[in-house]
Copies of this chain bind each other. A is one copy, B any other.
Amino acid sequence: MRKAKQIFQGAVDVFAEKGFDRATMDEVAERSGVAKGTLYYHFGGKEDLIRFLMEEGVGQLTEHVEQARNQSADPVEQLRRAIEAQIVFFDQNREFCQLLLKGVWSTSDRQIQFREIMQKYFNQLQEIIDAGIAHKQLRAMPAEWAAVSLFGMVSIVSLRVILQGRPIDRKELTEFLFQQYLYGASLPEEKQGTC
């Protein structure tokens, strides 16, 4: 089982750097420190390896966010923690972050399985949003769109920062995205009226 772990790490690195199609199994093997045959001893092939990577990674992300979320019962607070947890996870797993977003937009053969894999994660966000709506803390809106747009916002900005190679100021980014998502871009004063 030692080698399987090595392969996982090496594969994430290579796939993140080169993309799924341009990455070669040769390079995965080399970067993992195992022989090419070993890849095929542990995984069925390239596509199988990719699927495993995505499932494993999204599983970890989901669990990570789940834990963060469960530390509060308040939907809005859960939202903040979920955003923060996603940012932290992406920051800690920069390669996987790239991998994930590549997977999301990948070829339609893979799109289907990725969509299934991602669904677990989206469902979790939807639960939070639905709870927020039920508690009258969030306005009524299509929960699916709301979840997807949240994911889009958070990940696209996170990745942008990651790709610039800069360290992420997690607090600052969380705060920005939380504010943005919850209260939007308009001036608070304006919203709160001229009483």
Contact = CB atoms under 8 A, between A and B. Distances in A.
Interface in A115-165: 115, 129, 132, 136-139, 141-142, 145-146, 148-153, 155-157, 159-160, 163
B160 A153 contact: no
Interface stretch (A2-10, A27-35, A51-59, A101-109): A101-109
Contact of A188 (B102, B107, B139, B173): B139
A11 interface: no
Interface residues of A, number: 58
Chain A, interface SS category: helix
Instruction: Across the A-B interface, give the 5 residue pairs with the lowest CB-CB distance, nearest first.
Output: A152-B156, A21-B21, A184-B184, A191-B191, A183-B184
15 contacts: A21-B22, A102-B106, A129-B185, A137-B190, A139-B188, A141-B176, A141-B185, A145-B157, A148-B157, A149-B157, A156-B156, A180-B181, A181-B185, A191-B191, A192-B192
